[in-house]
């Protein structure tokens, strides 16, 4: 690791990268290795690898207790969990969702021939703006999907009020929000159901996986049927379904991660504080904060870059960091409404999404988790400070073809959402 003191030492200016190996956003956290391997050996000895084994059942029970929710249904991944939940809730026609989210949120609707109606966001929280939600409701609207972005809750009371008054189903994409709470209640307990992602890039992971949580007994029973082809018993199919089951290997990883979840959150909190200190007082840089008495997982270190104040565009800063092997990410660029097939279906959607259109050009996410030390963070912050102190030199350097290609290749290859 190299600490840089002047602009000429930056890699975009011809210097050596600050880090020999890349730091990725969403680098997996690994729990206690021996505990995990003991579980794997037990799974192999049992020869029960999937189909609601003892480790999946144990993980579901422990997650129900941790989240304070009646039902937790483990799934192979969060996308399948969304699709099953949408179908189990009887959503049809149109469903209101943010465009500022991972594309799987929209795809889980379109895959089932349900139209995602993209709604704008609040400029501060980055989550659905309830007033704009209400304005988009039509006779074809059957539901709302809110996204607890960055582990911070949506306007849950306002969205619940709209859903109740307008007779709509309310589902939450809680992919970012495991271990977080709202007004003393854990995320996972709101709406008709909530969906978590336990993908490898999440601070709490099961290699690949997810879960649906709900306090609705009937809905939980329906989801359990649907995730296992509709089987209610041996050779007894009573409902249409698919394969959404979590494997025993993934559940073993989840149980191992759960044993260290408080330690992982503390690492993220420490890192977030280190970034806050290292970037303090920089004009045009807003670190998305975590305030209040509720619980947060701190797994996202998100900056908003105001080019008018910094003099440097977000993408120029990103390429500067990439050159140093700090693989910062644009979230959620360019917005679902600017991706296919939605770009073709709704070519003028951006006119109704002014806050989303602005935010996708501003946001950048920085590496955190157990792979990153506070010393690493101090060096990353120094790189950002040098870039902001020399915007003209940086802008010229990052426009060269050799600087453009690595950044674009990184955008294509990484899936750390």
Q: Do residues 185 and 288 share a domain?
A: no
Q: Do residues 130 and 231 share a domain?
A: yes
Q: Which of 259, 286, 315 is the last residue of a domain?
A: 259
C-alpha span between 133 and 354 (Å, rounded)? 14
Q: Is residue 247 part of a domain?
A: yes
- Are 101 and 122 in contact by the 8 Å Cβ rule? The answer is no
Q: What is the CATH number of the domain that holds 306?
A: 3.90.1150.10
Q: What is the pTM for the complete model shown? A: 0.94
Answer yes or no: is pLDDT of 218 > 60.
Answer: yes
Q: Do residues 92 and 215 share a domain?
A: yes
Q: Do residues 190 and 297 share a domain?
A: no
Q: Is residue 323 part of a domain?
A: yes
C-alpha span between 228 and 244 (Å, rounded)? 6
pLDDT digits (tens, 9 = 90+) for 271-316: 999 999 999 999 999 999 998 899 999 999 999 999 999 999 999 9
Torsion of CA 199, 202, 204, 206, to 10 degrees: 10
Q: Do residues 210 and 308 share a domain?
A: no
Contacts for 323 with CB less than 8 Å, ≥ 6 apart: 10, 11, 12, 17, 403, 406
C-alpha span between 351 and 347 (Å, rounded)? 9
The packing angle between helices 248-259 and 261-278, to 10°, is: 60
pLDDT digits (tens, 9 = 90+) for 143-156: 999 999 999 999 99
- H/E stretch holding 184 reads none
pLDDT number for residue 417? 53
Residue 235 structural domain: 33-259
C-alpha span between 215 and 2 (Å, rounded)? 51
Tokens of 354: 């002014």
Q: Do residues 249 and 266 share a domain?
A: no
C-alpha span between 352 and 25 (Å, rounded)? 30
- Check residue 121 and report its DSSP letter: B
Answer yes or no: is pLDDT of 405 > 70.
Answer: no
- Check residue 247 and report its DSSP letter: P
C-alpha span between 59 and 261 (Å, rounded)? 13
pLDDT digits (tens, 9 = 90+) for 10-62: 999 999 999 999 999 999 999 999 999 999 999 999 999 999 999 999 999 99
Nearest-CA neighbor of 388 among 305, 325, 330, 324? 305
C-alpha span between 347 and 340 (Å, rounded)? 10
- Are 4 and 369 in contact by the 8 Å Cβ rule? The answer is no
pLDDT digits (tens, 9 = 90+) for 168-212: 999 999 999 999 999 999 999 999 999 999 999 999 999 999 999
Number of structural domains (the chain) is: 2
Pairing mode of beta strands 185-186, 141-147: unpaired
pLDDT digits (tens, 9 = 90+) for 342-387: 999 999 999 999 999 999 999 999 999 999 999 999 999 999 999 9
Q: Do residues 121 and 203 share a domain?
A: yes
Q: Is residue 25 part of a domain?
A: no
Q: Which of 259, 274, 294 is the last residue of a domain?
A: 259
pLDDT number for residue 411? 43
Q: Do residues 247 and 302 share a domain?
A: no
Q: Which of 215, 231, 259 is the last residue of a domain?
A: 259
Q: Do residues 378 and 243 share a domain?
A: no
């Amino acid at each position: 690791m190299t600490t840089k003191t002047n602009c000429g030492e930056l890699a975009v200016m011809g210097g050596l990268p600050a880090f020999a190996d890349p730091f990725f956003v969403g680098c997996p956290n690994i729990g206690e290795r021996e505990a995990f391997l003991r579980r794997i050996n037990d799974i192999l000895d049992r020869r029960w690898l999937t189909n609601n084994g003892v480790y999946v059942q144990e993980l579901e029970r422990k997650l129900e207790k941790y989240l304070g929710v009646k039902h937790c249904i483990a799934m192979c991944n969060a996308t399948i969990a969304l699709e099953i939940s949408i179908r189990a809730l009887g959503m049809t026609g149109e469903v209101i969702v943010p465009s500022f989210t991972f594309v799987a949120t929209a795809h889980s609707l379109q895959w089932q021939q349900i139209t995602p109606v993209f709604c704008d966001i609040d400029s501060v929280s980055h989550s659905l703006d309830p007033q704009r939600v209400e304005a988009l409701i039509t006779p074809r609207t059957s539901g709302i999907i809110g996204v607890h972005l960055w582990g911070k809750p949506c306007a849950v009371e306002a969205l619940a009020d709209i859903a109740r008054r307008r007779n709509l189903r309310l589902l939450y994409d809680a992919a970012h929000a495991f271990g977080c709470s709202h007004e003393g209640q854990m995320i996972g307990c709101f709406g008709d159901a909530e969906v978590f992602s336990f993908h490898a890039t999440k601070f709490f992971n099961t290699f690949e996986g997810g879960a649906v949580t709900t306090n609705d007994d009937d809905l939980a029973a329906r989801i359990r049927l649907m995730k296992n082809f509709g089987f209610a018993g041996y050779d007894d199919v009573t409902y249409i379904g698919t394969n959404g089951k979590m494997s025993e290997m993934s559940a073993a990883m989840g149980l191992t991660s759960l044993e260290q979840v408080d330690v992982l959150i503390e690492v993220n909190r420490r890192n977030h504080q280190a970034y806050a200190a290292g970037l303090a007082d920089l004009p045009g840089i807003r670190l998305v904060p975590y305030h209040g008495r509720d619980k947060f997982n701190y797994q996202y270190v998100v900056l908003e870059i105001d080019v008018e104040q910094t003099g440097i565009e977000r993408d120029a800063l990103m390429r500067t960091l990439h050159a140093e092997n700090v693989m910062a990410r644009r979230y959620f660029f360019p917005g679902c409404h600017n991706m296919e097939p939605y770009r073709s279906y709704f070519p003028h959607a951006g006119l109704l999404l002014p806050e989303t259109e602005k935010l996708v050009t501003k946001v950048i996410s920085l590496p955190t988790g157990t792979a990153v030390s506070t010393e690493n963070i101090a060096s990353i912050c120094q790189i950002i400070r040098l870039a902001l102190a020399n915007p003209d030199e940086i802008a010229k350097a990052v426009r060269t073809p050799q600087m453009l290609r690595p950044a674009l290749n990184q955008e294509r290859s990484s899936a750390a959402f």
